[in-house]
Homo-oligomer: A and B are copies of this chain.
């Protein structure tokens, strides 16, 4: 896998200007990634504020800065990526194209990062549509859900490709051999769902190189029933946000319940630290971010509200995916599945 060797020493290109807490928390996350996890990072953006933030950590000599004159605002969407060829995220993508970085990490707006990534890195040969993958906090190991929002409208063939993208993620980042694939729908029997998933079920059942385990439902999302959960970007995004909102809701209700009674309150104090730890583990930031799969380069989209630990986790995830050759792995899977029939 030549792609792996190419990037093995290259740093992660971290967009210092994207995210609600940029550049302060982004820079802090870079420092954490470098010092605590040994992940090499370059910061991309406006040099002065980045330098000042690095100075606060005494890290100006440890992390290089690559100048980018512009930045995408958090409320700017896909079109801005065309208008701003020198944005920090565009420059970060350029570093990956040139081989000067192994991967891109940004906490900028998802729409902006997706559009810029597609424009600057281009889709891998044979990939119909790049997709966003997230790792869900299942145990003993995460399940990968995709597409989590890049494609609101898809065709059944794309869902089969998403299965390959997710399988490559599971194989490289999580070290899972022969990941099991599930199709998100509204009943466990093969005939259940809308037209899209019924057809996708047929295609997945016949697809070589995929261990298709059949349909999964919403309540299977967090049980670890399968390693990869495939959905169109509309359903996947609704499911992901519903999951995040429901976990948040359960904890809020719990806090209120505990505060209501004096004995319960005492109990609550005794277990406060444990519950804080649990909340942190279930925090979307802890997953390391969403990964845009199917481009000629690895792009990790950290949560917009990311603070230093979330940014650091995203850099670790990006480095792991890049160094273990997720792009090459996708190339093998999609190339294998979609190789044109040879006439000679």
Which residues of A line the B interface, CB within 8 A? 149, 152-153, 184-186, 193-195, 197, 217-223, 231, 233-235, 237-251, 253-254, 257-258, 260-261, 263-264, 266-271, 273-275, 277-278, 281-282
Known: A152-B193, A217-B238, A261-B274. 19 other contacts (CB 8 A): A152-B194, A153-B195, A186-B234, A186-B241, A218-B238, A218-B245, A219-B241, A219-B248, A235-B235, A238-B239, A242-B242, A242-B243, A242-B246, A247-B249, A253-B278, A266-B270, A267-B267, A268-B271, A270-B270
- Inter-chain contact A222/B245, CB cutoff 8 Å: yes
Chain B hits for A233, CB < 8 A: 186
Q: Give how many copies assemble into the complex.
A: 2
Q: Which residue of B lies closest to A186 (CB)?
A: B237
Q: Which of A246, A254, A261, A282 has the most CB of B within 10 A?
A: A246
Contacting A271 at CB < 8 Å: which of B195, B223, B234, B257? B257
Chain B hits for A234, CB < 8 A: 185-186, 193-194, 197, 235
Chain B hits for A197, CB < 8 A: 234
Q: Cα distance A342–B176 when bound, in Å?
A: 66
Q: 7 closest A-B pairs (Cβ-Cβ)?
A: A218-B241, A267-B270, A219-B245, A218-B242, A246-B246, A267-B267, A264-B271
- Inter-chain contact B238/A186, CB cutoff 8 Å: yes
Q: Which residue of B lies closest to A77 (CB)?
A: B189
Q: A239-B242, A277-B257 are in contact. Are A282 and B250 (CB under 8 A)?
A: yes
Contacting A263 at CB < 8 Å: which of B217, B219, B271? B271
CB distance from A105 to the nearest CB of B (A): 23
CB distance from A263 to the nearest CB of B (A): 5
CB distance from A87 to the nearest CB of B (A): 21
Q: Which residue of B lies closest to A237 (CB)?
A: B186
Chain B hits for A222, CB < 8 A: 245-246, 249
- Inter-chain contact A261/B253, CB cutoff 8 Å: no
CB distance from A80 to the nearest CB of B (A): 14
Chain B hits for A263, CB < 8 A: 270-271
- Inter-chain contact A271/B242, CB cutoff 8 Å: no
Q: Cα distance A275–B267 when bound, in Å?
A: 11
CB distance from A266 to the nearest CB of B (A): 6
Chain B hits for A149, CB < 8 A: 186
- Inter-chain contact A218/B240, CB cutoff 8 Å: yes
Chain B hits for A193, CB < 8 A: 152, 234
Chain B hits for A274, CB < 8 A: 257-258, 260-261, 264
Q: Which residue of B lies closest to A139 (CB)?
A: B253
Chain B hits for A245, CB < 8 A: 218-223, 243
- Inter-chain contact B246/A221, CB cutoff 8 Å: yes
Chain B hits for A254, CB < 8 A: 254, 275, 278
Q: Cα distance A274–B268 when bound, in Å?
A: 11
List 8 A-B pairs, Cβ < 8 Å: A149-B186, A186-B238, A217-B238, A235-B235, A243-B245, A253-B282, A257-B271, A263-B271
Chain B hits for A235, CB < 8 A: 234-235, 238
Q: Which residue of B lies closest to A148 (CB)?
A: B186
Q: Cα distance A272–B251 when bound, in Å?
A: 15
Chain B hits for A250, CB < 8 A: 246-247, 250-251, 282
